[in-house]
C-alpha cells in the first residue's frame, strides 16, 4: 500500500509513527527551513495533519482494531484508511422483483413485506417475504430474538443479500434489513463534493476483508462507517496533488471530490469520474518519475562516443548467409544512433524466441570493437553462455575479432589466459556468466555490456559490471529479453529504458503444430515420438520444476526418465537427461550428446534448457503442462521449429485440468504469437505474476490502477507526462511545484539501471 503523507514525505513512513520524531520534524519544523532544498514547494509545513494521526484515534477504532487494521490491511494512519479503496461496489439503487431473482445472481435488493416467521428446531428462523411478484424465504441463524421482534408479519423492509438456492427454492441467508426510505430505489443524491459526507447513498463500497478483521468486529458495515468517519475528520485537510492546469487539461475532478466519491459514490457517474482521476493520477506520477529519470540521464549522462560502424561489423555483415529481417535492421539502426550520440545507451531489446537477437547482439558488440572498445555478453546460465559463445565464434570468423568464454567452470590456467587477454585488449568480445563480474576480471577498454535475460541479474551484480568501465564513463547497456512483455507493462517496468522490439521472425520458420494430450494418450505419444525419431528427428521432453517441492519434482523427473528409458530402450534409442542437481560436467556431457545428435531424446527440467538451440530437434513434449505458465510454455515451444523440418509441441496433462489451465493450453494451441500470449497471460494473472517479471516486479505498487486493465489510461498518462516534461524538463516552473513535490516521495525512488554505482 502506498504511504500517504501529504506534508512529511521526506521523513519516511517508519519514523512518522514515532512521537519523538513527530515532535521534532513535524510539529516544530519552522517555515524558514524552506530554504532547504528538500522543503521547497511545501505548503503546509509546520502543521501536523490529521491525515497522519494514528488510526486508533479514529472514532470507532481504538487500539485493538487499530492493530488489526495495521496487520491485515497495512493501515496505520487516517491517511492510509482514506487511500484504502473499495475493490467493488454494490449498487443498492435498484430493487429486484422476487420473481426475477435467480440463485446465481450477485447481491440484490428486495422490497418486501413479511408474511410469516417460523422458528425451526429452535435454531433457524425462517421468514417468508413477498413483494407481489413472488415470495421467498429469508433465513437467520443468529440474533434470532432481535430479528423475530423486528420482522413482524405485515411490516415492509428493504432486504439486501445474496440469493442462494436451498431444496430447489430460492432463499437468502442473513440479508441486511433496512427500513424503507422514500428515496430507496430512486438513485443517489446529487453530487455534493466534500460537503455531503453521508453514507446514505445507494451505491456502497466493498473493501477487502479477512477472517481476522471480521472476527475482530471490522465487518463490511463497520468498514463503511470507519470510512465515513475518516472522511469527515480528514478530507478537509487533503490537499490537491495535481496542478490546476492538469485538472483542466485532462478534465479531472478535484481530489476531495474523488476521495469522497470513491468511498461513497453519489452516482455511478460520480464514481467513474473519481476512479478515472485516481487511476490517472497514479499512472501519471509513475510515468512522470520514470520519464524524468530518462530525461535527466539523456541530458546529463555522458556516454562513450562510438562514431564508427567499423570494419569488423562490415566484414561480419557481408559474410552473413542470410539477409537481416526488417526488424533486425531497424533495431541495429536504433542501437547505432544511441552509441554515437555521446550519451549512454540504455536499451531493452525485446524479441520473441528465435527472432534473431543473438545476431543483433553480435553486430552491436562489433560496433564497440570497431571503435576500439571491448564488449561482454552475459548470460544467466552456463549452458546459455556456451551456446552464445559457439554462435558468436561462427559469426566472428570472417572478422578476426577474438572472443572468449568465461564461466564458473573455466579452469585456472584458461582463466589466467582470459584475464590477461582482457587486460591487454587482445580479447574483443567476452561471453560468460556471473563469473564475468568478479573483481579480478579487468578490461583494457570496456565499453559495452550486453545482458541476456536481464531479470536474473541483481542490481548489485549489474553495478559491479558498470564499474569495470575503464574511462569512468558508464558503458553502453543493451538488455535482451525473450520474455515478451506487453507494451503497457514494458512501459511501466522499463519506463526509464528505451525499448526496441524485434517483431518479425526470420523467414522460412515453420509454424509449430501444438496439441494437447492427456495421460490416456501416452502410448500414442510414444508411437509418435518413435516415428519422428525414425525420420531422424530429436525430441525434448520437459518436466516442470517448481521450487516449493523440489524433491517431488525430481522424483517426477526421475520417474519420467525411467519410463522413457523403458519405452525407448538401448541400443535403438539413446536418452540424455539434464537437470539442476547434476555437476556442470554431467550437464555438458548430456547436452553435448543431444546437440551433436548422439542422443534422440533429451529429458530435462524447465530451468536448464531455456535458450538451447538444437535445430534438428523438432518435437517438444511438455509434461504436466498444466503446471506451467503461458509464457514459460511459449519459451519452451520456441526451442523447436528452428530447423527446416515440421515441428510439433505436445502439451501433456492429467485427465482433470482446472478451467484456468485449460484456457492456457487452448491459447497455446491457438496462437504462436508471444506478445498475444503475454497480453492474455497478464489479463489472466495480473502483471505481478507475469513470468520473467516476478523478480523485477512493478517499480511501485499501484493502489487503484491496473497495468493489465487500464492500458488506455496508462498510454494517455504516459503521453501526457511526456508533454509535461517537454514543456518543463526539470519541473521547475511554479505551476509544476506540486509535481516536483510529489516526485520527492520515497516511493518514486525507483531503481535506475544506469545510475546504480
Ligand atoms: P533469439 O536469440 O532471438 O532466440 P537467435 O538469434 O538464436 O534468436 O536466432 C534464431 C535462429 O535464426 C538462429 O539459427 C539464427 O542463425 C537464425 N537467424 C537469425 N537472423 C536471421 C535472419 N535474418 N534470417 C534467417 N535466419 C536468421
Ligand atoms: Mg538467443
Query: Tens of pLDDT along 273-303?
Result: 999 999 999 999 988 988 887 777 666 667 8
CA dist., res. 427 & res. 410, Å (int): 16
Looking at the CA of 355, name the nearest ligand. 1
- Confidence (pLDDT) at 491: 67
In-domain check, residue 711: no
- Confidence (pLDDT) at 685: 63
d(CA 449, ligand 2 centre) in Å: 16
For residues 478 and 519, membership in a common domain is answered with no
CATH number at residue 636: 3.40.50.300
Percent of the chain with pLDDT over 70: 81
In-domain check, residue 34: no
User: Is 354 close to ligand 1, i.e. is its CB under 6 Å away?
Assistant: yes
Alpha carbon separation from 630 to 487, 539, 563, 622 (Å, rounded): 17, 21, 26, 12
Alpha carbon separation from 498 to 131, 278, 345, 493 (Å, rounded): 63, 27, 8, 11
In-domain check, residue 746: no
pLDDT grade for 554, boundaries at 50, 70 and 90: low
Residue 201 pLDDT greater than 80, yes or no: no
d(CA 359, ligand 1 centre) in Å: 7
Closest atom of ligand 1 to 502 CA is 3
**459 or 208, higher pLDDT:** 208
Alpha carbon separation from 643 to 159, 275, 538, 637 (Å, rounded): 67, 51, 11, 13
> Quick check: 597 and 538 in contact, CB under 8 A?
yes
> Quick check: 378 and 457 in contact, CB under 8 A?
yes
- Confidence (pLDDT) at 747: 74
**Last residue in a domain, options 166, 195, 224:** 195
CA dist., res. 705 & res. 724, Å (int): 21
- Confidence (pLDDT) at 655: 85
**Which structural domain, as residue segments, surrounds residue 178?**
93-195
- Confidence (pLDDT) at 21: 25
CA dist., res. 115 & res. 125, Å (int): 13
- Report, as an integer, the average pLDDT of 57-70: 93
pLDDT by residue (tens digit) across 491-504? 666 666 778 888 88
Sign of CA dihedral 464, 469, 472, 476: negative
d(CA 470, ligand 2 centre) in Å: 28
What residue ranges in 565-662 does DSSP mark as E strands?
575-578, 601-605, 617-622, 647-653
Residue 475 pLDDT greater than 70, yes or no: yes
Burial group, residue 185, by CB count within 10 angstroms (0-12, 13-18, 19+) = middle
For residues 459 and 331, membership in a common domain is answered with yes
User: Is 736 close to ligand 1, i.e. is its CB under 6 Å away?
Assistant: no
Element containing residue 480 per DSSP (H, E): strand 476-481
> Quick check: 133 and 97 in contact, CB under 8 A?
yes
For residues 540 and 457, membership in a common domain is answered with no
- Confidence (pLDDT) at 695: 33
**40 or 328, higher pLDDT:** 328
pLDDT by residue (tens digit) across 425-474? 999 999 998 889 888 899 999 999 999 875 555 656 767 877 888 677 88
Q: Where do the H-state alpha helices sit in 251-267? A: 255-263
Mean pLDDT of the chain: 81
User: Is 484 close to ligand 1, i.e. is its CB under 6 Å away?
Assistant: no
Tell me which residue of 451, 406, 407 sits closest to 427, measured CA to CA: 406
For residues 424 and 466, membership in a common domain is answered with yes
d(CA 468, ligand 2 centre) in Å: 25
- Confidence (pLDDT) at 513: 92
CA dist., res. 511 & res. 641, Å (int): 7
Closest atom of ligand 1 to 613 CA is 7
Pocket test of ligand 1: the residue of 319, 326, 331, 354 to mutate, having most ligand atoms within 8 Å of its CB, is: 354
Nearest CA to ligand 1 atom 14: 642
pLDDT grade for 696, boundaries at 50, 70 and 90: very low
User: Is 482 close to ligand 1, i.e. is its CB under 6 Å away?
Assistant: yes
**Last residue in a domain, options 479, 502, 525:** 502
Q: Give the pairing type, strands 163-166 and 124-130.
A: unpaired
d(CA 640, ligand 2 centre) in Å: 13
For residues 516 and 390, membership in a common domain is answered with no
Q: Of how many residues is the chain composed?
A: 757
- Confidence (pLDDT) at 169: 87
- Confidence (pLDDT) at 756: 30
SS3 13: helix
In-domain check, residue 679: no
Residue 187 pLDDT greater than 50, yes or no: no
In-domain check, residue 370: yes
User: Is 358 close to ligand 1, i.e. is its CB under 6 Å away?
Assistant: yes
Alpha carbon separation from 255 to 242, 279, 465, 559 (Å, rounded): 8, 12, 45, 60
For residues 469 and 563, membership in a common domain is answered with no
**504 or 644, higher pLDDT:** 504
Pocket test of ligand 1: the residue of 506, 640, 642 to mutate, having most ligand atoms within 8 Å of its CB, is: 506
Residues forming beta bridges with residue 570, ordered by sequence position: none
For residues 490 and 571, membership in a common domain is answered with no
CB-side neighbour CA atoms (13 Å) of 356: 24
pLDDT by residue (tens digit) across 728-743? 988 999 999 999 999 8
pLDDT grade for 569, boundaries at 50, 70 and 90: very high
pLDDT grade for 487, boundaries at 50, 70 and 90: low
For residues 520 and 449, membership in a common domain is answered with no
CA dist., res. 54 & res. 51, Å (int): 8
C-alpha cell belonging to residue 720: 501526457
- Confidence (pLDDT) at 12: 27
Residue 3 pLDDT greater than 80, yes or no: no
CA dist., res. 199 & res. 88, Å (int): 16
d(CA 356, ligand 1 centre) in Å: 4
pLDDT by residue (tens digit) across 709-718? 787 888 899 8
Q: Which of 299-303, 313-317, 568-572, 714-718 has the lowest mean pLDDT?
A: 299-303
User: Is 707 close to ligand 1, i.e. is its CB under 6 Å away?
Assistant: no
Nearest CA to ligand 1 atom 18: 356
In-domain check, residue 649: yes
**455 or 528, higher pLDDT:** 528
For residues 533 and 444, membership in a common domain is answered with no
pLDDT grade for 644, boundaries at 50, 70 and 90: confident
**Last residue in a domain, options 464, 483, 502:** 502
- Confidence (pLDDT) at 449: 93
Pocket test of ligand 1: the residue of 322, 353, 358 to mutate, having most ligand atoms within 8 Å of its CB, is: 358
User: Is 357 close to ligand 1, i.e. is its CB under 6 Å away?
Assistant: yes
pLDDT grade for 389, boundaries at 50, 70 and 90: very high
Q: Domain count of the chain?
A: 3
**For the whole prediction, is pTM greater than 0.75?**
no
Tell me which residue of 482, 513, 515, 478 sits closest to 610, measured CA to CA: 482
Nearest CA to ligand 1 atom 11: 354
Residue 558 pLDDT greater than 90, yes or no: no
**25 or 648, higher pLDDT:** 648
User: Is 506 close to ligand 1, i.e. is its CB under 6 Å away?
Assistant: yes
In-domain check, residue 44: no
For residues 452 and 532, membership in a common domain is answered with no
In-domain check, residue 367: yes
Closest atom of ligand 1 to 351 CA is 3
d(CA 393, ligand 1 centre) in Å: 15
For residues 104 and 154, membership in a common domain is answered with yes
b/e 707-731 (16+ beta carbons within 10 angstroms → b)? bbebbebbebbbebbeebbeeeeeb
- Confidence (pLDDT) at 698: 54
User: Is 731 close to ligand 1, i.e. is its CB under 6 Å away?
Assistant: no
Pocket test of ligand 1: the residue of 356, 385, 504 to mutate, having most ligand atoms within 8 Å of its CB, is: 356
Residue 546 pLDDT greater than 90, yes or no: no
Percent of the chain with pLDDT over 90: 44
Element containing residue 178 per DSSP (H, E): strand 176-179
For residues 534 and 497, membership in a common domain is answered with no
**380 or 422, higher pLDDT:** 422
Residue 224 pLDDT greater than 60, yes or no: yes
Nearest CA to ligand 1 atom 9: 356
- Confidence (pLDDT) at 529: 95
d(CA 495, ligand 2 centre) in Å: 24
CATH number at residue 166: 2.40.50.140
Closest atom of ligand 1 to 358 CA is 6
C-alpha cell belonging to residue 719: 503521453
Residue 250 pLDDT greater than 50, yes or no: yes
- Report, as an integer, the average pLDDT of 400-425: 94
pLDDT grade for 10, boundaries at 50, 70 and 90: very low
Amino acid at each position: 500500500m502506498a504511504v500517504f503523507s501529504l506534508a512529511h514525505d521526506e521523513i519516511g513512513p517508519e519514523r512518522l509513527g514515532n512521537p519523538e520524531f513527530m515532535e521534532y520534524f513535524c510539529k516544530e519544523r519552522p517555515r524558514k527551513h524552506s530554504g532547504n532544498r528538500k522543503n521547497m514547494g511545501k505548503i503546509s509545513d509546520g502543521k501536523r495533519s490529521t491525515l497522519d494521526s494514528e488510526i486508533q484515534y479514529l472514532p470507532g477504532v481504538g487500539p485493538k482494531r487499530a492493530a488489526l487494521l495495521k496487520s491485515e490491511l497495512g493501515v496505520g494512519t487516517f491517511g492510509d484508511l482514506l487511500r484504502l479503496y473499495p475493490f467493488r461496489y454494490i449498487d443498492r439503487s435498484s430493487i429486484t422483483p422476487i420473481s426475477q431473482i435467480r440463485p446465481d445472481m450477485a447481491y440484490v435488493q428486495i422490497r418486501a413485506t413479511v408474511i410469516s416467521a417460523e422458528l425451526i428446531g429452535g435454531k433457524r428462523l425462517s421468514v417468508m417475504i413477498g413483494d407481489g411478484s413472488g415470495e421467498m424465504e429469508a433465513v437467520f441463524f443468529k440474533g434470532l430474538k432481535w430479528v423475530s421482534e423486528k420482522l413482524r408479519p405485515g411490516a415492509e423492509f428493504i432486504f439486501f443479500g445474496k440469493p442462494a438456492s436451498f431444496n430447489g427454492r430460492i432463499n437468502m441467508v442473513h440479508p441486511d434489513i433496512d427500513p424503507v426510505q422514500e428515496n430507496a430505489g430512486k438513485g443517489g443524491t446529487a453530487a455534493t463534493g466534500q460537503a455531503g459526507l453521508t453514507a446514505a447513498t445507494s451505491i456502497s463500497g466493498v473493501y477487502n476483508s479477512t477472517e481476522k478483521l471480521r472476527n475482530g468486529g471490522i465487518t463490511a458495515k463497520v468498514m463503511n462507517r470507519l470510512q465515513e468517519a475518516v472522511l469527515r475528520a480528514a478530507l478537509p485537510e487533503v490537499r490537491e496533488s495535481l496542478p490546476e492546469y492538469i485538472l483542466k487539461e485532462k478534465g479531472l475532478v478535484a481530489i476531495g471530490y474523488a476521495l469522497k466519491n470513491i468511498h461513497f459514490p453519489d452516482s455511478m457517474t460520480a464514481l467513474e469520474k473519481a476512479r478515472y482521476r485516481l487511476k490517472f493520477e497514479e499512472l501519471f506520477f509513475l510515468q512522470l518519475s520514470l520519464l524524468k529519470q530518462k530525461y535527466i540521464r539523456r541530458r546529463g549522462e555522458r556516454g562513450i562516443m562510438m562514431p564508427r560502424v567499423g570494419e569488423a561489423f562490415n566484414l561480419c555483415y557481408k559474410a552473413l548467409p542470410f539477409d537481416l529481417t526488417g526488424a533486425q535492421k531497424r533495431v541495429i539502426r536504433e542501437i547505432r544512433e544511441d552509441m554515437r550520440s555521446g550519451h549512454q545507451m540504455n536499451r531493452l531489446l525485446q524479441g520473441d524466441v528465435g527472432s534473431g537477437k543473438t545476431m543483433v547482439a553480435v553486430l552491436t558488440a562489433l560496433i564497440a570493437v570497431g571503435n576500439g572498445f571491448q564488449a561482454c555478453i552475459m548470460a544467466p546460465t552456463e549452458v546459455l553462455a556456451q551456446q552464445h559463445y559457439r554462435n558468436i565464434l561462427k559469426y566472428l570468423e570472417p572478422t578476426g575479432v577474438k572472443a572468449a568464454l568465461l564461466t564458473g567452470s573455466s579452469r585456472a590456467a584458461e582463466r589466467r589466459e582470459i584475464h590477461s587477454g582482457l587486460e591487454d585488449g587482445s580479447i574483443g568480445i567476452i561471453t560468460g556468466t556471473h563469473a564475468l563480474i568478479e573483481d579480478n576480471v579487468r578490461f583494457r577498454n570496456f565499453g559495452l555490456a550486453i545482458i541476456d535475460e536481464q531479470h536474473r541479474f541483481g542490481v548489485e551484480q549489474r553495478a559491479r559490471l558498470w564499474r569495470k568501465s575503464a574511462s569512468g564513463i558508464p558503458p553502453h547497456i543493451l538488455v535482451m529479453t525473450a520474455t515478451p512483455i506487453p507494451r503497457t507493462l514494458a512501459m511501466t517496468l522499463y519506463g526509464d529504458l528505451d525499448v526496441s522490439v524485434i517483431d518479425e521472425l526470420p523467414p522460412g520458420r515453420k509454424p509449430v503444430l501444438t496439441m494437447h494430450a492427456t495421460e490416456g494418450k501416452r502410448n500414442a505419444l510414444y508411437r509418435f515420438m518413435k516415428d519422428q525419431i525414425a525420420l531422424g528427428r530429436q525430441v525434448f521432453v520437459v518436466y516442470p520444476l517448481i521450487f516449493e517441492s523440489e524433491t517431488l519434482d525430481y522424483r517426477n523427473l526421475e520417474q519420467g526418465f525411467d519410463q522413457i528409458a523403458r519405452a525407448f530402450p538401448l541400443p535403438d534409442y539413446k536418452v540424455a537427461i539434464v537437470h539442476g542437481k547434476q555437476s556442470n560436467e554431467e550437464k555438458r556431457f548430456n547436452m553435448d550428446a543431444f546437440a551433436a545428435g548422439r542422443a534422440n531424446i533429451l529429458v530435462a527440467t524447465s530451468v536448464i534448457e531455456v535458450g538451447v538451440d538444437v535445430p534438428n530437434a523438432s518435437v517438444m513434449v511438455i509434461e504436466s503442462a498444466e503446471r506451467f505458465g503461458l509464457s514459460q510454455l511459449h519459451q519452451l515451444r520456441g526451442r523447436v521449429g528452428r530447423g527446416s523440418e515440421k515441428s510439433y509441441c505436445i502439451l501433456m496433462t492429467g485427465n482433470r485440468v482446472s478451467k484456468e489451465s485449460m484456457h492456457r493450453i487452448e491459447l497455446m494451441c491457438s496462437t504462436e504469437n508471444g506478445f498475444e500470449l503475454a497480453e492474455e497471460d497478464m489479463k489472466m494473472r495480473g502483471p505481478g505474476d507475469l513470468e520473467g517479471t516476478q523478480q523485477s516486479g512493478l517499480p511501485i505498487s499501484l493502489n487503484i490502477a491496473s497495468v493489465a486493465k487500464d492500458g488506455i489510461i496508462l498510454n494517455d498518462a504516459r503521453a501526457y507526462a511526456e508533454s509535461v516534461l517537454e514543456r518543463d524538463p526539470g519541473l521547475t516552473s511554479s505551476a509544476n511545484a506540486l509535481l516536483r513535490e510529489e516526485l520527492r516521495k520515497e516511493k518514486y525512488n525507483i531503481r535506475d539501471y544506469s545510475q546504480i554505482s
